[in-house]
Structures are given as structure tokens and as C-alpha cells.
Chain A
Amino acid sequence: MNTPATASNPIARLLERIGRSVVVGIEAVGFTCSMFAEAVWWLLVGWRRKQPVRIPAVFAEMMDIGILALPILGVLSATIGMMLAIQGIYQLRQFGAESQVVLGVAFSVVREFAPLITGILVAGRSGSALAARLATMKINQEVDALWVMGIMPVRFLVAPPLLAMVIMLPLLTFFSMVLGLLAAGFYISADLGMSLPAYFDQVREFLSNDDFMHGIGKSLLFAVAIAMIGVANGASVTGGAEGVGRVTTRSVVHAISAIVIIDMLFAFMATR
């Protein structure tokens, strides 16, 4: 698809180039979607065809994506919760309304910051690893080897991480919410002299189930986006070790962009 533009007129050439990249982009989205459909298909009917998605593989991925990410995610979530408390109190103090800080912190952690920071962290940690692994396997002819053994690569390589991601990301997001709120609570209780139980009472009063589901629902979409962007980029690798580096970087950039865009669209749809 990298054929140089052929038109002589510079404007026509620009248009041609834009057109080409649009086609390439749509092709990539289509490829990703069809791979997603295939992975879901294998998850649903694979066991009936005696070609099941292996549960141990899913657990291994869950360990990798979820459990091993807990320490760094905990640190980040706590930091962000505290940061929100600091900024919130500083701003609200100007109106003498610092006791309202709990409302702001609770909403922003649960609805935005926890899903977003979890998504971005996992995209950087696991989405990139997924892309790199798949790309290396493809270049090493390991994907061909799967084909000729009669093992469908999507079932074997795509379905397990997809399922693991969809299970783990909401759980990680929940973990991030709790730690973010807790860290903010520590700061607020110290600064405003509010007791921790009183803080959590307030949080529970302000937050509805809707807010919670808003955050968790978003993380489900992020999970699909991270997994599929990772594997689709990995599968489209060309050109040796350098290509592996390229698709890995690209998968992180694409995944984070997708997360931010999905986040905005979701907020728009869910709040109207």
C-alpha cells in the first residue's frame, strides 16, 4: 500500500495520499473487527468443535495482565487520588467550600480517573507485550506453524488474552477506584480534620450505582480495544526485528488514543 502518489498536480497528489491512508485505516479497522468476531466465535463455539480456548492459557494471561499489574497500578491510583484531593481543596478553599471536596474527588475518581489510568497503564504494559509477542511469532514462522498443525491462530493466540483482558480490566479498575478514594480520604481527613469513616459515609452518599457502572462499563470497552489493537498490530507486522519495534510502539499509541476517544464518546452517550 506504500506506492507513491502518481498524480502530477500537488493538490491532487495530496488528496490521493489522504485517500490512500483513509483506505489503509479502514482496512485496519475492518481487520481488527473481523479478528474480534473470530475470537468471540471461538470463545463461544470452540469447545463444541473440540477446539476449545484453553482455560490454563486464559489464567496465565490473567496473571500477567491483572495480578502482576497490581503494585504499579496501586501506586498510580493512590497518587492520583491524593493529587485530586490536594487540587480540590486548594481550589475550593478560595470559596471556603473545601468540605465539598469529597464530591469532586469521588465523582472524578470513579467515573474518569480510575478507568482511564488503568486503561492507559494496561495498554502500555500488556497491549504492547501482546503486540510484540504476536509480531515476533509471526516473523519466526510460529503463526504459520500453528496453521499447518491445524491450530487456528486466533483461537490459540487471540482469544485467551482477549478473555483475560475483559475479565481483568474491570477488576483492576475497581481496585484503582478503591485505592484512589482511600488515598484521597487519607489526605482529606488529615487536612480537613474529617474522620475516615465520615469521609467514606459521604462518598457512599454521593455516589450512585450509576457512577460505579459508568466507570466499570467503560473499562470493558477499553479492555476489548487494548487487546484487539495489540493483536491486530502484532499480526500486521512486516520486516523483521525492526518491524516488531514499530508495531509495538504503534499499538501503544493506537490503544491510548482509542481509550481517550472511547472515554469521551462514552461520557457523551451516558450523560445525555
Chain B
Amino acid sequence: MMTMTTNETPAIEVHQLVTHYGERMILKGIDMDVRPGEIMVIMGGSGSGKSTLLRHLLALERPTSGNIRLLGQDINACDGQQLYELRKKMGVAFQSGALFSSMTVGENIMLPLYEHTRLDRKTMEIMVRLKLEVVNLAGFEHLMPSELSGGMIKRAAMARAIIMDPKLLFCDEPSAGLDPVVASALDDLILRLRDAMGMSIVVVTHELESVFKIADRVTVLDRGEILFIGSVDELKRSDNERIQNLLHRRAEDESLDTDAYLERLTGEQVILNAGL
């Protein structure tokens, strides 16, 4: 079982993060942290910069200024080898799953083990079956990703993300586009990963239901700035008008179509995000 990193060093520390795409400023000085063993939910509408922030946290993009520490290490100061070592301690479940379509589910999940460890094939297969058990997909290892449903793809992606027992787990929209039962099962899974394995987990989502269920703390992004950081209770009690809009409009009407929802969230100014 995973031992927790020392409680003093945050799992993630973001300091004055600024980023531009060409002339446009996407993130305008973000400060946030994620404590070890907590679930931090990042919320925000389209164009709020949450996808960009996630790409920075994953070290897929370099910021204009500011820095990010993952597990105590400044990723801007890392060389290739250090980043490589760091990445073995991170798991990511992408929004689309991003399973490799030419490999079976089992091979997909096994890939990090195959690349980073020297375990023999039998052991790796056992570990894959174990993780599939965890995400409730036991027996599916021989299927191709194209044969899976949306919810199964997300769960398989989750299994791949946790195969190396990471200290840090990132989930991009884990329950978007899923029916409520499956979405809720995924939320349970995230909670279980925190409780059983002590992972620090960052979840990007705008599904309020799962925010209330899983979040230890919530970060709300709006137009590249942090609108709010705090617990779910504090979020509910917040008297900031934009947060209240975000919470109540959504709660009043569950069957909103996305476009109208986005328009209301961002006040007509729907900026299509590059990292969609």
C-alpha cells in the first residue's frame, strides 16, 4: 500500500501561473495547492482556463511565467530524466479516455508497467486483472477499446491511470456524458482510491452532483482567474453572485442543454478552448 508523502509538502503547489496563447492571456496569475490525500475539484465554464490549467499541471505546456511544484519538484526546473521519474508517480485519466485503439484494454493498462518496470509478463497480467477488478471491469482485458461503451472506456482509462500506483491522480471530466448511475459509480471509485491508496486527486469537472459528493476542496476558475478556493460547505455559503449563479441555475434545471448552460455561465462570451 502507498505511504503518504510527508504531510508538510503539498502534492501540488501552483504559484502565480500566467499563460498566453499568442496575444490572449488565458491564465492570469493562478495560486493554488493540493494537499496530500485530498480530492481537489477544479470547476469552471468553457473558456475559464480549466483545461489549460490541467495541461500545465500535467507538464504538457510551459507557462509564460510562474511555477508549478508537483510532489515538491519544480517542473520548470526539471530536466528530461527528472520529469520522466516524476511522471511515473502520476496517473492521468483523460476526458476521452485516450486508450490506444490498436491495443486491447489489457495491453493499454499494461503499457506503463511494460515500459517502466522489469516485471515478467505473468505478474503484469495479474496486476492488470487487479486494477480491472478495482474499476469493475474484470474480464474485459481482451476487448478492443472500440468495443467498449463510454462509461467502460472511462473506467478502463482510470485503471490505466492507477496501474503504477501513482501518488497523484488527475481525472479530466470523469463523469461527463455518462448516465447518473455510472457517473455515481465513478465518483465512488475516486473516493475509494483516495481512502484506500491515499492518493492526492485532482478532478476537473462541471457536474455539480459529483462535486458535492467527492470534493474535499473546490477551486472555481472564471476567465483565467481564481474565483474561489475552499470546502464544499464554504462554496455553498459563498455570497459571490457568479458562484451562486453557477450553483443554482444548474440545480434548478437538470436538463439544460450545454450551449445554453455555457452561455449563461460565461455571459454570452463562449470562448472555444483549444484544449477541448
Q: Point out residues on A near B: beta carbons under 8 Å.
A: 51, 136-137, 140-142, 144-145, 147-151
Contact = CB atoms under 8 A, between A and B. Distances in A.
A108 B240 CA distance: 79
Interface of B: 58-60, 83-85, 87-88, 90, 92, 94-96, 98-101, 111-112, 115-116, 170
B50 to A, nearest CB: 16
A140 B101 contact: yes
A148 B100 contact: no
B92 A145 contact: yes
Contact of A144 (B60, B90, B116): B60
Contacts of B101: 136, 140, 142
A150 B84 CA distance: 5
B98 A141 contact: yes
B113 to A, nearest CB: 10
Given A145-B92, A148-B58, 8 more contacts: A144-B94, A145-B100, A148-B90, A149-B92, A150-B85, A150-B88, A150-B116, A151-B111
Nearest to A143: B98
14 contacts: A51-B84, A141-B96, A142-B98, A145-B92, A148-B58, A148-B59, A148-B90, A148-B92, A148-B170, A149-B115, A150-B87, A150-B88, A150-B112, A151-B112
Contacts of B116: 150
Contacts of B88: 150
A-B pairs with lowest CB-CB distance, top 7: A150-B87, A145-B98, A141-B98, A148-B92, A141-B94, A150-B84, A142-B98
Contacts, number: 50
Contact of A145 (B83, B85, B94): B94
A148 B115 contact: no
A137 B97 CA distance: 12
A145 B96 CA distance: 11
A136 B146 CA distance: 14
B38 to A, nearest CB: 21
Contacts of A142: 98-101
A25 to B, nearest CB: 20
A151 B111 CA distance: 9
Contacts of A145: 92, 94, 98, 100
Nearest to B22: A3
A51 B114 CA distance: 11
B118 to A, nearest CB: 9
A152 to B, nearest CB: 8
Contacts of B58: 144, 147-148
Contacts of B92: 145, 148-149
A155 to B, nearest CB: 10
Contacts of B111: 149, 151
A141 B95 contact: yes
A140 B98 contact: yes
Nearest to A149: B112
Contacts of B96: 140-141
